[in-house]
Structure 1
Amino acid sequence: MSDLQPYPLHFKPEFKERVWGGRALERFGFEVPQGAIGEGWMIADHPNGVSHVANGALAGKGLDEIRELAGAAWFGAKGATGNGRFPLLIKLLDCNDDLSVQVHPNDHYDRLPEGELGKTEMWYVLDAKPGATIIYGLTPGVDRAKLAAAIDEGRIADCLQEVSVKAGDAFYIPAGTVHALCAGVVVAEIQQNSDTTYRLHDYNRPGLDGRMRELHIEDSLNVIAYDGAGASRMSTDAAKPGEWLTLASSPYFVTDKGIVAGEWSQTTHGDSFVIVIVCEGSGSIDWANGVVDARAGDCFLIPANLGRYSLNGNMTVLRSVLP
């Protein structure tokens, strides 16, 4: 790899059919397979899905293989997790129906599946139909006993906070936060590289195989942060061209929103790769040895050793780095 020059990696998504999915990801120009497609794993290195590079000298190679070849030079000193995988998982989600009410554990939960991590994540709302909502936390005063009783009595909805959403809203969801995306939203999700989800409630809905999906009541009750985990939401209307607006700052990622209007110079710093998600508009990413086109829905991994590059055009982007 020493003779291969770093460049922005553009990935072909790994699509996932979900009972709550739809066809909204087609709007980004992807070749979406048939079915109810709920998730596009845009940048992924996980046993349940690996994304493959679509451009340049590494086209066709999976992120897992590239990490083995390139190492810290491309991915930065911070670019590995405790289990040796890429530290983040980047998704686009099409919520054509309500997702299950769920919660994620942290890294220290003693009943994590072998080799898995906890999951802290954030959402950026790309699109929301009028009246769209999400579940975001428990109502004040709900503790484990009250929630368990509500579940037993079929009235869990009494314990859930429902909030309205619009395009441009951002939600930080630390492990331990009860949450659910609801019908009518399309979101970009930045998260720890984990596929561990505990379901509290699933509307008595069968899965794609016609069977009822498993609930994880005991694990959910164990990992919920009843006094709050530090979840926060914000409108990002204050974002200005040429300035980064921080949306989430966690132990696992820092994510900013930026508005590109013309040419905007950037630099990598060696200790972390940079993830760029194009939320809307179009343009390009330019660096010393080339240029790659960028449009809404595209996700790029900028190697830590790329150095100077620029975002060009008219587009809204998210930038994520390791803290």
Structure 2
Amino acid sequence: MGILFFKPIPRPALWGHTLVKDYFGYQDFPDGIGQSWSFSAQEKDSTVCLTEPYQGMTLRNLWIHHQELFGNQEGEFPVIISLVGPEDDLSLQVHPDAKHAQKVGFSSGKNEAWYFIEANDDANIVYGHHAKDEKELRKYIQEDRWDELIKHLDVHPGDFVYLPAGLLHALKKGSIVYEIQQATDITYRFYDYHRKDAAGNERELHLEQAIDCLSYDPKEMENHIHPVVSETAHMKQTVFISNDSFTVTKLEIDGQDTYQSGHYQLATIVKGQGKVDNQEVKVGDNFLIPVNCEIKVDGQMTIMMTTK
């Protein structure tokens, strides 16, 4: 079995316009798209396979009925993979851990990670806060001292940032990101800069739910990533993270080489172009590498891959 291509799903957002469409060559996308789902097996929104013999089948159906592609995994499909291009700052958010998610009917929490494909020279993200406990947090909020509350982290092209459940975080404009998140589709909006819509209304917040999930551990507000790098003749492999939620790998291809993994891989071309198994690929292409499938690669390109 060779690689299987998937059609991305456009996701409208108030902070989107044409950046995702233009950067990744998704010319069939309308304007106003903030991100695209490269891989999703959500019940109401699953990416569709473009390759025979599974053409027209959703990733969700493949996961349920063709586990031979994935190595006989159990449970729900574990992740959503997105390409994100914010053209305005996103609201500040918190994701629940397993304990909090189970309270509202989900089986697992929501850890997340970002790989920065592009970032402006002065790009940063919201990453944590300064409150030592809930009492102090509420004092910041009551006094509208949001700028003093929020911590920031500078980011650069090629950076990898892990976002554990409970971390206050937000993407800001000026970057293009490959995003990995656990498939628990729940997010609590903590703060939105008092922005108003055309009718003069601020966006809905989920402040109490967010506070209920929020971590105050300063160690969880430090981005400790220890990449593991290996190289062959024309390929550099970087494993950024491997935990119970997901394993994320970057392949940098410079010529002809081969790649094989003992796990299935959800692959997205984030830079360059070339060939995979003699098929032309370019930025924005998304394909599943089935379990134990060896592929031939050729070209000048960067491939981001996720598995569990």
Kept in 2, the 8 Å contact 1:142–1:159? The answer is no
TM-score (norm 2): 0.89
SS at match of 1:148: helix
The residue correspondences of 1:1-323 to structure 2 (distance < 5 A) are 6-26=1-21, 27-71=23-67, 73-77=68-72, 79-81=73-75, 85-109=76-100, 112-115=103-106, 117-139=108-130, 142-206=132-196, 211-227=201-217, 228-229=219-220, 232=223, 242-269=235-262, 272-286=263-277, 291-305=278-292, 307-322=293-308
1:53-75 Cα deviation digits (max 9, x unpaired): 1233222221112223312x111
One-letter amino acid matched to 2:249: D
Task: Return closer, same or farther for 1:59/1:110 CA change in 2, 3 Å cut-off.
Answer: closer
One-letter amino acid matched to 1:319: M
One-letter amino acid matched to 1:18: A
Distance 1:184 1:239 in 2: 31
Kept in 2, the 8 Å contact 1:173–1:231? The answer is no
Distance 1:151 1:190 in 2: 30
Kept in 2, the 8 Å contact 1:106–1:175? The answer is yes
1:132-178 Cα deviation digits (max 9, x unpaired): 22111123x53222112111221122121112222111101111111
Distance 1:234 1:131 in 2: 21
CA positional deviation for 1:193 = 0.9
SS at match of 2:108: coil
Kept in 2, the 8 Å contact 1:106–1:118? The answer is yes
One-letter amino acid matched to 1:29: G
Any gaps of 5 or more consecutive residues in structure 2? Answer: none
SS at match of 1:171: strand
One-letter amino acid matched to 2:56: G
Any gaps of 5 or more consecutive residues in structure 1? Answer: 1-5
CA positional deviation for 1:116 = 5.8
TM-score (norm 1): 0.85
Kept in 1, the 8 Å contact 2:13–2:35? The answer is yes
The residue number in structure 2 matching 1:3 is none
One-letter amino acid matched to 1:44: S
1:16-70 Cα deviation digits (max 9, x unpaired): 1111112111221113432321110110011352111123322222111222331
CA positional deviation for 1:230 = 6.9
1:88-145 Cα deviation digits (max 9, x unpaired): 1100011100111111011221665434632111101111233222111123x53222
1:235-272 Cα deviation digits (max 9, x unpaired): 98x88652322212221111122211112222232xx3
Distance 1:255 1:110 in 2: 23
SS at match of 2:161: strand
Distance 1:130 1:243 in 2: 25
Distance 2:304 2:108 in 1: 24
Task: Return closer, same or farther for 1:285/1:102 CA change in 2, 3 Å cut-off.
Answer: same
SS at match of 1:108: helix
CA positional deviation for 1:311 = 2.4
One-letter amino acid matched to 2:195: R
Kept in 1, the 8 Å contact 2:7–2:286? The answer is no
